[in-house]
Structures are given as C-alpha cells and as structure tokens.
Amino acid sequence: MQNFPLPRIDSDEELQKLLIPYCRFRKGDVWTDPTGKHKIGCLDAGDSSEISYLMGSELASLAVHDPPYNFVAFEEMDEKKFVEWSKLWVNNSYNSLMQNSSLYIWLGADQKNHFQPLPDFMLMMKTSDFNSRSFITMRNQRGYGTQKNWMSVRQELLYYTKDNPAFNVDAEYTDIPKILKGYYKFVGGKETENTERGKSEFIRAGNVWVDIQQVFYRMEENVNGCYAQKPLKAIERIINASSNRQDIVIDFFAHSGTTLLSSEINNRRCFTTDLSPVFCEISLRRLENYRNLGKTGWQNSNPFAEEILTDKKLKKYLNSILDLNSNNQ
C-alpha cells in the first residue's frame, strides 16, 4: 500500500485530533455544492432543527440510512436507547421526505443477543407512519463465525415507503445467475424448464442479493480508514429502483460518502450528514476526487495521503501504530 494505510478512524481519537485541522467542517457547518446539486452537513441526524436547516424548503424522494449499530462497530448502547434514538432520525426522515417516497435502512442483527437491534427496531417502525415493503438480505463475501455455528454472511436492509412511490425494478440488471433448475411449466403445450423460459442468464433482483462484492482494499472504491463502507453497486440498485433523475436522496450517516457519490454518478442530488467533521471531510474529498480524476475511492492510498506526507506529527503517529500492529502480528 502506498502512502500509509489508515487504521479505523472512528475508534482512534488521537488520529481524529490530528486530522481535524485538515477538515473544512466544524459542528453545525453545511457545505453547499457550487453546482447546486448536493449538500453535506456536519449535523446530528436525531436533531430536528439541524435536519430542517439542511433540507431548507426542499423534500427528498428517497432516504438511504446506515446508522451505527449498537454492537461491534460502535460503543455499546442498549437496544432500548438505540431504538429511542432511532425514532428521532426516522421521524426527521419522515418530515424530510415528500409524499410517495421510499426509505431504506441498513441494520445489524446480533445473533448473540436475540438478533438485536433488528426486532426492536422493526417494532418501533410499526408505530411510525411508514409502510413496510420488503426485508432484503445482501450476502457478504467475508463472513464471521465459528466451527460451531453457520457462518454469518448476511446484511439486512429494510425497505419502507411513505404513501405509494414508483418502483422501477424492471429496469434493474443484476449479475445474479439462474442457479436452480427444475421449475417446470407448460408453455404452448410444451413442458419447459425455468432456465429455458427467459432469454437472460440472470434473474431480476428479488429480496436476496448475492451479486454484490463487499468493499475491500483491492477495490477502486475502497476508502481507507472507513470501516463500514457500503458497496456503490448496492446503493445504485436502491437509487435506480426508488428514485428518478434530479431527485433528492438523503443519507443522514454519510461516513465514506457512498450515497453522495452514487447520487453524483446517477444524476441525483444528495443531502447527507455525519456527526463527525472527519467523515464529512472524507465524503467531500471523495466527491471531489471523483469529479477531478473519475475515481470512486483510493484503493491503495487514502483521502489524507498528501497531508500524511507533509505533516511530521501525523506521519510519526501513523508510523507508531503501524509498528505496533506489525509487532502484534
């Protein structure tokens, strides 16, 4: 890897402190795209006045949220608190969405703790004004597990709607091959098997997606330092199915800016927020990098590569943790 691999930024306070001087965001700031397309706010998803400040007088047709789960990735928060907090940003989403719009939420299910927070979150959604539409599973390539359990490779994605939005899935191309044979049906008096009936080798996207590669360091879209990046292909599938060109897409948990970048690529506008100035800066740099160089991420480098080369303190710190990591291996 060139220019230092970055460790997980969210769990390294010292590194965050060293990166802050290079961030154009402070709490409360909103960057407005000079082209008039996108907005990035260093704002709290749960704060209604901050979100209405972000939205101004505009409304979105699609929300794609990937909140921090209350296990593994983030500091432990109990399910009850997680759900109470979720109610706030779900409500803020409702108020930011137009009539006939869609809401997608990536959520975790801890198999060691009754699949929380998923079931409690679903029950909370029952009290909202959204309608439940689908429970999608995306298959991850890398799983975790032991010899004593099924390897955990699923990623849950919930789909809700406000009223009755359009759904453009027929236009959706997938790389999901027809795997299973044996579903026979008589067509024109002849018994046919399911793989001979359709012309395509692929099936349309149902609610199980097995054709999306999880982001890893060898992919161009990889953003080093971000631990929870969603694949562009997954966001693109959602955007194409549930919004139209020039529509506004909101994502209150930007992190590496995947929804922002996918909106740019697919001619949507994106209003996105993150509580952390560092992740707001990374999202903005990702957009600028794409606009300047056509690249979707940094693959073998990272968003702060130039600063690391010139900032001795930052370089020294990274060297020390890299040494630590290699000594621990």
Ligand X SMILES: C[S@@+](CC[C@H](N)C(=O)[O-])C[C@H]1O[C@@H](n2cnc3c(N)ncnc32)[C@H](O)[C@@H]1O
- For residue 276, state whether it binds ligand X (rule: CB under 6 A): yes
> Restricting to residues 31-90, which ones interact with ligand X according to CB under 6 A?
44-46, 66, 68
| Residue number, 279 or 298, with CB nearest to ligand X | 279
- Binder of ligand X out of 38, 162, 230, 285 (CB under 6 A): 230
CB of residue 104 vs ligand X: minimum separation in angstroms?
11
- For residue 281, state whether it binds ligand X (rule: CB under 6 A): no
Task: Return the beta strands (E) in the chain as ranges.
Answer: 30-32, 39-41, 60-65, 97-107, 109-110, 116-117, 131-144, 152-162, 184-187, 190-193, 208-209, 248-251, 269-273
DSSP for 148-205, written as a single string? TS--EEEEEEEEEEES-----GGG-----B------EEEETTEEEEHHHHSSSSBPPP
Enumerate the H helices of 69-159 as residue ranges.
79-96, 118-126
| Residue number, 256 or 289, with CB nearest to ligand X | 256
Site string for ligand X, 256-275 (x = CB under 6 A): x-x--------------xxx
Q: Binders of ligand X: how many residues, by CB under 6 A? A: 19
Site string for ligand X, 176-205 (x = CB under 6 A): ------------------------------
Contact assessment for residue 16 and residue 314, using Cβ atoms and an 8 Å cutoff: no
| Residue number, 73 or 324, with CB nearest to ligand X | 73
| Residue number, 45 or 248, with CB nearest to ligand X | 45
To 5 degrees, how large is the angle CA 92–CA 75–CA 219? Answer: 80
Rounded Cα distance between 3 and 237, Å, is: 33
- Residues at the site binding ligand X, with contacts judged by CB under 6 A: 44-46, 66, 68, 226, 228-230, 252-253, 255-256, 258, 273-276, 279
